[in-house]
Amino acid sequence: QSVLTQPPSVSGAPGQRVTISCTGSSSNIGADYDVHWYQQRPGLAPKLLIHSNSNRPSGVPDRFSASRSGASASLAITGLQEEDEADYYCQSYDNTLGGFLIFGGGTKLTVL
């Protein structure tokens, strides 16, 4: 079971907006550690989508946005496109047991 909790799946029609939540605790997101988001298409390595809570690397469309509040974070995708169908993972740092990086369990986005 992952330290960060994500919904197993979300779906939306092309053009719609979807959000993916990432819930942590007082030892990770709630302790003010940054959250990062990745997109993973089948058979490929994850791709950095959002870093440091809300920042898009160069080349990532502005349809992708994210935020963090308290012990949770969320990723929003507007104007859904078929190519957005993928798995999405949140990532942060946990300060227990000496500290280590943690990932959410992943959310499968289906574009209907």
Q: Which is nearer to other proteins, 14 or 99 (CB)?
A: 99
24 binds other proteins (CB under 8 A): no
Q: CA–CA distance from 76 to each of 15, 23, 26, 102, 109 (Å)?
A: 13, 15, 23, 21, 12
Beta strands at 107-111 and 9-12: parallel, antiparallel or unpaired: parallel
Contact region with other proteins (CB under 8 A), list: 11-19, 20-28, 73-81, 96-104: 96-104
- CB-nearer residue toward other proteins: 4 or 77: 4
- 7 near other proteins (CB under 8 A): no
CB of 65 to other proteins, least distance (A): 16
- Identify the residue among 46, 63, 67, 71 touching other proteins (CB under 8 A): 46
Residue 20 found at the interface with other proteins (CB under 8 A): no
- Indicate whether 42 belongs to the interface with other proteins (CB under 8 A): no
Q: Which residues are near other proteins by CB under 8 A?
A: 2, 34, 36, 38, 45-48, 51-52, 55, 57, 89, 91-93, 97-106
